[in-house]
Structure 1
Amino acid sequence: MPVDFERYHPSDLPDEDTNGRQILEFLAGHPELGFRASELAEELDIPRGSVGTTLRRLEQRGLVRHKGTYWAINVEAYDAHTASEIGLQTVADQFNGDYYGQNPNWDSDLPYFDAEQADE
């Protein structure tokens, strides 16, 4: 699907339903704590080998940081924009399957107003 190239801003977040997203959301829920990779693997039921690789990728994006063997969310990088993306996805997940989700053409009969009409 084509996008408006000037308005398109790809997300810094990993795609949903990925190990990276799970780890990032978990760490964001505990911003003051650091976790070992083994603790994250156990807590999130992700294979231990995948956690280390995923954490390094998240670190390259600046989303997590580590001290020794402990990993934490990079609060500075995890700004309001990133938080709002997760919040919007949570809302979308919550209302998935509602009337609007089941009726993709719900807006087809709405009147169209362009910018010039709005100024009148």
Structure 2
Amino acid sequence: MPINIRRFEESPPEDLRASGRTNAEAILSLLASTPDQAFTPKEIHKATDVKRGSVGVVLSRLEERGLVRHRGDYWAIATDVDAEKTLSAMSTARAASERLGTEDPDEWGPGVDSDDE
């Protein structure tokens, strides 16, 4: 959702983080909420507002993780997925990334050895 340009210019950067679910969370939520149905990518796009060009990529990544399955043009939640637990973990990971930033040691700055534990 767009913000007012005054807010854009006057707010500290930490207050200007976009929030909300990721595309993967939106798609997985839809499929998990209707485990007795399968959808085409176009139907998923319409139901979630995920950009049409992103739906296929997200579905493929979810399938690689064993979270969704497909036959022909239709996609559904995988049969053995604890969707609530998975969505909770995705939300927690997103929140941690937003709060703590990157895990790339090259971006931590000088004097930090990523091998030290």
**TM-score, with structure 2 as normaliser:** 0.55
The equivalent of 2:22 in structure 1 is 18
The equivalent of 1:30 in structure 2 is 34
Question: Which of these two proteins has the greater Rg computed from alpha carbons?
Answer: 1
Query: Shift of residue 75 of structure 1?
Result: 2.1
> Would you say how many aligned residue pairs link Structure 1 and Structure 2?
73
Identity of aligned residues (%): 43
Q: Which structure has more helix as a fraction of its residues?
A: 2
The equivalent of 1:83 in structure 2 is 84
**TM-score, with structure 1 as normaliser:** 0.54
| Partner residue of 1:54 out of 55, 58, 62 | 58
The equivalent of 2:99 in structure 1 is none
What's the C-alpha RMSD, in Å, of the aligned pairs? Answer: 2.4
Higher relative contact order (CA 8 A, sep 6+): 2
